[in-house]
Structures are given as structure tokens and as C-alpha cells.
Amino acid sequence: MSQVSRKKRTIGVFKTLLPYLARYRWHYIGGFLCLVIVDAAQMIIPQFMRQAVDMISVGSFKWSSILALCGGMVGVMAIIALGRFLWRYFIHGASRRIETEMRQEIFDHLLTLSFDFYQQNKIGDLMARATNDLNAVRMSIGMGLVALVDGTIMATSILILIFLEDARTAVFAVLPLPLITVLILLFGNVVGKRFQKAQETYSAMSDTVQETFAGIRVVKSFVKEWWFIKKFADTNDDYRAANMALVQLYGIFFPFISFLSGLTSLILLLVGGIRVVEGFMSPGDLVALFRYLQMLIWPLMGAGFMVNMVQRGAVSLERVNEVLEMQSAIASPAEPKRAQGSPSTILEIRHLEFAYPGGEGEKKVLEDINLVIPRGTTLGILGRTGSGKSTFIKTLTRMVDPPAGTVFVEGIDVREWDLGELRGLFGVTPQDSYLFSDSIKNNISYGLDNSGEQLLKKAAALSAIDRDLEAFSQGWDTLIGERGLTLSGGQKQRVAISRALIGNTPILILDDALSAVDAETEKRVLTGLLEERRGKTTIIVSHRVSTLRSADLVLVLYKGRISEYGSPQELAAQGGFYARMAALQQLVQGEGNG
């Protein structure tokens, strides 16, 4: 990216913060007023020093006069102290509030984005943007603005005062300043590039940590701790190297600025000393000029800090805005439709075809699916791995977007439903039984405000997880660890089934949700579940034919197409894939019993 476009980007990206800054404008106005008062008060201090030195140098001073000057300085310092507290309270307080609001906005926005977004973006990177990057944005609209305003006021005021004190001396003293300005501009351009690299490596490191601990079971099962230790060490070293590149830049820049600032003091000592000896300046004037030049060091250093923070903030804000500007590929229509009554057909599929965008040649995962599911039907779905079973389920709830006019729920195209209302019709237990790091009770009932003790116990009984409660140290309140780490695969699946059951939705989907459960428990769960849901629609996806024998109808998918469809008895008599799987599984079961 060229320097011109980078500058345009830096200026333009902060426009997105204007609504926040406008909302807290009185905080900033109050803070900057206090900052101006502090700067004005600081300008007075050297004048007290000038008067005191001149009194002492002529030898005709009175202690009362010196004490009066000291008292005045103490009063001014008290004003400075109070003013500094107030501008910090107002400006830093506002920047903290803006950071909090932006973090909440990012979180809220991320929840609106569709499933494909999370397939394309890593969680560690998103977390880095919501933490590290927002911290840099806060610094730019907090201390960065303070450095800009304070530096401008201080530098302008000091330059005016030293030229008013003695213009000839001032001209020589400020000779190094143009060089400092050039260095600050060059510094800002380099900082932006290096900071962006640092943030990207931080995201990569966060991804590594998140993936390692999320998959800690696999890591330990394959004894691959050493491999992940090395992977983290590599990303950690990359992050260190990126930050050291920044540190090296600071290590050169700030000492050199200090050297140039000290050079102004040396010039003042030579030129000003001659002016005092020649009688054009008093000793007090020279002391005041020294003090003003020392005060000028902060605006010069502050300019470097300001450029640093603004460049960091611009890079980070752009990364944050990339997330906030993302639009969900799946959204509710402007004018959603609602079902009228309870039609006999709850689900209807018409010539459904689907391919994942960007796939290999965009090969169709589903082809020409036609299906009518009456209300109250229990539908079983069977098929080889990769036959499109899970994708078919996702089209029903618009986790992936089917073509218009292909999937209908209660007679309405799913693309015309309000997303919240559509998904509220379904209780889904996906293949990956994701559980939260919370208690068993909250994992079952988190989706409802007031589930009620009876409803909770009923759902647990139907999934047969209730019989395991005695084995848990704290019963319902047992914490199950991140992603259900402390539970077995079957226990995780049964907790997830309870979570889906407690909503008592018109349609229940079990996507291979009993694969980790033994045959006896599976039979108990299915018998109680189907009895409880009599009159409601249930869809069961499974590789086990024994699981599907309780279904009213069974759909067999092969390479995304319907290869068989009918009752379990009809399919068993046809001699197709369903019959072959039934015979094979019965043979395996018989050998196991033998």
C-alpha cells in the first residue's frame, strides 16, 4: 500500500468513531478545558522562577517576597494537580466507555453473522481484535488525543513566550526543531507497518493457544504435546520478533529526540549566556527560558507518542471495522411472513439443490431433493458419510441458505421467515454436541428464562442423563468443563438431547445424536422420546439402522440424491442400501453377542 493511500486510510478510518465521540462530547470538552487550564498554569511557573532569580541576583530581596512567590507557585501547582485529575477523569473515562461499547458491539455483531463467516475466520484472530486491537483504539482516542491537544497548545505557547522573552536567542535555540518534525513524520509511517505486523502475529499466537486447549483431549491422546509446544514457541518467537522491531525503532527514535532537545539547551546556554553577560537579558530571563525549553521537550516527545498511538489506533481500528462491516450472508427478510394456522404438511422440499460456495468446482452436495413430511411424522435419514445428511438438515434452519422456492416450513419458504421465529420451531442436537463451561443444569436449560424444575427433570429423564447424576460430585450443579471436557461422549450427547427437548419445539432434529450411546440406552431414549413427542415432528439422522426402525418413514441419501424412501418395513424388503446396512449391522451385533 502506498504512503498516500495509507495516509488517506489513517484519516478516514477514524470517521467511524465520530458517533461515539459525539455521544461523549461533553466529557471531551470538559477534559480539554481542564487540559488548557493546566497548560496555562504551567506557563506561569517559569515567571515565578524568573522573578525569584532576579530578586536574588541583585541582592535586594526580602524573605517575605520570596515566600509570597513560593506561595503563589504552590497555589498554581494545586490548580495543575486538580486539572490533571479532572482531564484524566473526563478523557480517559470517555475512552474507556467507548472501548466497552465497541467491544459489546463487536460481540453483538459476531452473533448475527452466519455460519460461513466462522468457517473463514479463526476464533483467536477475532478475540485479538476484540481485546488487543480495541486497547490500541482506546489509547488513540484517549492519550493520543491528549498528546495532540496538549502538545499543540504547549509547543505554540512556549514558542511564543520564548520569542517574546528574547527573539534572537530563541531563533538559535529552536534550530533543531525542524529536524525533529521530519523525524516524527518518518517515525509515524514506519510504526504503522510494524504495528500491523505485530497485531497479525498476536492473532496467529492466539489461534494456536485456542486450538491447542480446545483440542486438549486429542493432543494428549496422541502424545503430541511436544509438537504444540514447538508450534507455540514458533508463533511466540514471531510475536517477540515483531515487537522487538517496534522496540528497536523506539530505542533509536526517543533517545535521538532527547539528544536534539538537549542540543537546544546547549545552544541556549551559549547564546543566552552571552546575552546575559552583554546585559541584554537578566539571569532570571535566562532561567525562565531554560525552564520553557525543558517544558518544550514534552510536546516534542508527545508528538512521537501521539504519532505512535494514532498509527497503532488506525491499524487496529481498521481491523475492528473489518469485522463490524461484515454482513451476514443469511438474514431475515425486510417483511417476513408468518404461518397461518397449522397446515398438515410441516416440511416440504421441492427440487432442492445445494453446493457450498468456493468448493471444488462447486460440486453439488444435494441434487433434486423432493420430499413432503406430514406434521407428526418421525423421519429417519440414512446415508454414507458425505452423502449430504447434515447439509440437508442445515437447509431446514437456514444454517446454510437453500435456493429460493426449495425448502418450505409450514407452507412458507424458509427464506421468507424471520430467522428467530424459524429457528425457534426447531430443537436441534447437532453432530458436535457442544457444551458450555457451566453446570449440567444450565447447559440443559440455558435457552429458557424459566425452565422450571419439573420440565428440567422431565427432559433429563427422557435423555436418560438423570441416571448419571448420582455419579457427579454436585449433581445438577456439577461444572462440566469447557466443551464438556469432564463428560463421556455419551453423556455429552444426552445432555445435548435434554437441551433440545426442553424447548418442546414443533420439530426436533437429532443429527447422529446417539452415536456414542450404547444400544440399551439408545432404545430407552428413543422409546420415551417418541412417546413424549407423539403428534410432533421428529427427524433422526443416524448410521444405525436400529435407531431408524422406530421412524414412520426413512430417507436414504446417496451422493446428495434420494436413493430410497419409505417405511422401514418397505425399505427392508427392497434389498437396497437400507436392507444391506440392516443385515450387516445385525451380523456384527450377532458376532458381538457370540
pLDDT tens figures, 219-249: 776 677 888 888 889 989 988 888 888 888 7
pLDDT for 77 = 92
Amino acid at position 541, single letter: V
541, 390 contact by CB (below 8 A): yes
Helix (H) or strand (E) segment spanning residue 124: helix 123-128
Burial of residue 61 (number of CB atoms within 10 Å: 0-12, 13-18, 19+): middle
The answer to whether domain 14-324 has CATH 3.40.50.620 is: no
pLDDT for 493 = 86
Q: In 390-521, where do the E strands start and end?
A: 407-409, 412-413, 426-429, 507-511
Q: How confident is the chain (594 residues) per 10-residue block, as mean pLDDT?
A: 42 84 94 94 87 76 79 91 94 94 92 83 83 89 88 86 81 76 69 75 81 72 79 89 83 76 78 81 82 78 74 86 88 86 86 80 84 93 90 91 93 92 89 80 72 78 83 79 73 86 89 82 87 90 87 92 92 89 73 50
| Interior/surface letters 309-325, b for 16+ CB within 10 angstroms, e for the rest | bbbbbbbbbbbbbebee
pLDDT for 281 = 81
Nearest CA among 472, 437, 431, 444 for reference residue 213:
437
Enumerate the domain spans of the chain.
Answer: 14-324, 343-425+505-594, 431-504
pLDDT for 46 = 87
Cell numbers standing for residue 570: 418397505
User: Which long-range contacts link 578-581 to residues 24+ away (Cβ below 8 Å)?
Assistant: 578/382, 578/545, 578/554, 581/382, 581/543, 581/545
Helices (H) and strands (E) in the chain, counts: 23, 10
What CATH code would you report for 343-425+505-594?
Answer: 3.40.50.300
Cell numbers standing for residue 20: 461515539
Q: For residue 505, how many C-alpha atoms fall within 13 Å in the half-sphere facing its CB?
A: 25
pLDDT for 5 = 40
pLDDT for 4 = 35
pLDDT for 356 = 84
Phi, psi torsion values for 349, nearest 5 degrees: -115, 125
pLDDT for 6 = 44
pLDDT for 118 = 82
pLDDT for 374 = 92
* 475 conformational bin, left if phi > 0, alpha if psi -120 to 50, beta if neither: left
pLDDT for 362 = 64
User: Which long-range contacts link 487-492 to residues 24+ away (Cβ below 8 Å)?
Assistant: 487/435, 488/516, 489/433, 489/516, 490/516, 490/517, 490/518, 490/521, 491/465, 492/433, 492/435, 492/516
CA distance 111 to 106: 9
Q: Label each residue of 217-281 as H, E or C.
A: HHHHHCCCHHHHHHHHHHHHHHHHHHHHHHHHHHHHHHHHHHHHHHHHHHHHHHHHHHHHHCCCC
Write down the pTM of the prediction: 0.75
User: Which long-range contacts link 525-530 to residues 24+ away (Cβ below 8 Å)?
Assistant: 525/462, 525/463, 525/464, 525/494, 525/497, 526/550, 528/461, 528/462, 528/464, 529/462, 529/463, 529/497, 529/501, 530/378
pLDDT for 450 = 59
**Beta-carbon neighbour count of residue 57 at 10 Å?**
14
pLDDT for 7 = 44
Same fold, 343-425+505-594 and 431-504: yes
CA distance 147 to 300: 10
Q: How far is CA 62 from CA 27, 45, 56, 58, 96, in A?
A: 45, 20, 9, 11, 50
CA distance 277 to 528: 105
Which CATH number, 2.60.40.2550, 3.40.50.300, 2.40.37.10, 3.40.50.720, labels domain 431-504?
3.40.50.300
Nearest CA among 475, 154, 473, 180 for reference residue 291:
154
187, 286 contact by CB (below 8 A): no
pLDDT for 422 = 92
3-class SS of residue 496? helix
Cell numbers standing for residue 319: 481491523
Q: What is the largest CA-CA distance in the chain?
A: 122
467, 409 contact by CB (below 8 A): no
CA distance 482 to 478: 13
